[in-house]
Chains A and B, each alone.
Chain A
Amino acid sequence: MIRFQNVGLRYGMGRETLSDVSFEIPPRSFQFLTGPSGAGKTTLLRLLFLSLKPTRGLINFFGRDRSRIARSDLPLLRRRIGVVFQDFRLLDHMTVYENVALPLRVRGREEVSYRTDVIELLKWVGLGERMAALPPILSGGEKQRVAIARALIEQPEILLADEPTGNVDPPLARRLLRLFIEMNRLGTAVVIATHDMGLMDQVDARRMVLAGGRLDVHD
Chain B
Amino acid sequence: MTDATADRLVVQSVARDRRRVSPIVPPHNLAGKALLIVIAIMTFLSSVTLGAVSLVRDTAMTWESQIAREATIQIKPADGLDMESALERAVAIAAEADGVLGARQVDREATARLLEPWLGAGLNIDELPVPRLVIVTIDPNDQPDFESIRAQLKTALPTASLDDHRTWVDRLVAMARAMVGIGVSVLGLILTATVLCVVFATRGAMAGNGHIIEVLHFVGAEGRFIARQFRVHFLITGMKGAAAGGLAAAAAFAGVAYWSARNMATPEADQAAALFGNFSIGLNGYVGVALIVVLTAILTAATTHLTVVTYLTDLDSRQPEGG
Of B150-158, B217-225, B230-238, the segment with at least 4 beta carbons within 8 Å of chain A is B217-225
For the complex, is A218 an interface residue (Cβ under 8 Å from B)?
no
For the complex, is A180 an interface residue (Cβ under 8 Å from B)?
no
Report B219 CB to chain A, min CB distance, Å: 4
B side interface size, CB within 8 A: 35
Are A132 and B13 CB-contacts (below 8 A) given A75-B223, A95-B22? Answer: yes
Cβ < 8 Å to A, chain B residues 6-26? 6-7, 10-11, 13-15, 17-18, 21-22, 24, 26
For the complex, is A128 an interface residue (Cβ under 8 Å from B)?
yes
In the bound complex, residues from chain A placing their C-beta under 8 Å from that of B24 are 91, 102, 105-106
For the complex, is B321 an interface residue (Cβ under 8 Å from A)?
yes
Contact indicator A97/B319 (Cβ below 8 Å): no
Contact indicator B219/A106 (Cβ below 8 Å): yes
Contact indicator A52/B220 (Cβ below 8 Å): no
Which interface residue of B211, B220, B315, B318 has the most chain A CB atoms within 10 A? B220
In the bound complex, residues from chain B placing their C-beta under 8 Å from that of A95 are 17, 22
State the 7 A-B residue pairs at the shortest beta-carbon distance, nearest first. A106-B221, A79-B220, A53-B319, A93-B26, A103-B219, A55-B323, A78-B220
A side interface size, CB within 8 A: 46
In Å, the complex CA distance between A11 and B18 comes to 45
Contact indicator B15/A115 (Cβ below 8 Å): yes
Which interface residue of B14, B17, B22, B321 has the most chain A CB atoms within 10 A? B14
Choose one: A9, A98, A103; the contact of B220 (CB below 8 Å).
A103
Contact indicator B17/A55 (Cβ below 8 Å): no
Report B151 CB to chain A, min CB distance, Å: 82
In Å, the complex CA distance between A51 and B314 comes to 10
Contact indicator A11/B11 (Cβ below 8 Å): no
Instruction: Write the chain A residue with the least CB distance to B229.
Output: A106
Report B112 CB to chain A, min CB distance, Å: 79
Contact indicator B218/A51 (Cβ below 8 Å): yes
Instruction: Write the chain B residue with the least CB distance to A103.
Output: B219
In Å, the complex CA distance between A55 and B321 comes to 7
Report B229 CB to chain A, min CB distance, Å: 9
For the complex, is B316 an interface residue (Cβ under 8 Å from A)?
yes
Q: Which residues of B contact A (CB under 8 A)?
A: 6-7, 10-11, 13-15, 17-18, 21-22, 24, 26, 211-212, 214-223, 225, 313, 315-316, 318-323
In Å, the complex CA distance between A93 and B17 comes to 14
Choose one: A11, A76, A115; the contact of B14 (CB below 8 Å).
A115
Report A75 CB to chain B, min CB distance, Å: 5
Q: Contact mask A2-19 → B, CB, 8 Å, 1/0? A: 000000011111000100
Question: Could you list 18 examples of A-B contacts with CB < 8 Å?
Answer: A10-B320, A51-B218, A55-B321, A55-B323, A56-B323, A75-B223, A78-B218, A78-B220, A91-B215, A93-B22, A94-B22, A103-B219, A103-B220, A105-B24, A111-B18, A111-B21, A115-B18, A131-B14
In the bound complex, residues from chain B placing their C-beta under 8 Å from that of A107 are 220
In Å, the complex CA distance between A7 and B222 comes to 27
In Å, the complex CA distance between A74 and B313 comes to 12
Instruction: Write the chain A residue with the least CB distance to B23.
Output: A93
In the bound complex, residues from chain B placing their C-beta under 8 Å from that of A11 are 320-321
Contact indicator B219/A132 (Cβ below 8 Å): no
For the complex, is A116 an interface residue (Cβ under 8 Å from B)?
yes
Which interface residue of A10, A13, A75, A118 has the most chain B CB atoms within 10 A? A75
For the complex, is A41 an interface residue (Cβ under 8 Å from B)?
no
Cβ < 8 Å to B, chain A residues 136-174? 150, 154
In the bound complex, residues from chain A placing their C-beta under 8 Å from that of B223 are 71-72, 75
Choose one: A10, A106, A132; the contact of B216 (CB below 8 Å).
A106
Choose one: A9, A85, A89, A132; the contact of B17 (CB below 8 Å).
A132
Contact indicator B13/A106 (Cβ below 8 Å): no
Instruction: Write the chain B residue with the least CB distance to A92.
Output: B26
Contact indicator B220/A115 (Cβ below 8 Å): no
For the complex, is A54 an interface residue (Cβ under 8 Å from B)?
yes
In the bound complex, residues from chain A placing their C-beta under 8 Å from that of B225 are 106, 108
Report B80 CB to chain A, min CB distance, Å: 97
Are A98 and B318 CB-contacts (below 8 A) given A106-B219, A119-B11? Answer: no
In the bound complex, residues from chain A placing their C-beta under 8 Å from that of B215 are 89-91, 102
Are A76 and B220 CB-contacts (below 8 A) given A93-B26, A106-B225, A119-B10? Answer: yes
Contact indicator A49/B11 (Cβ below 8 Å): no
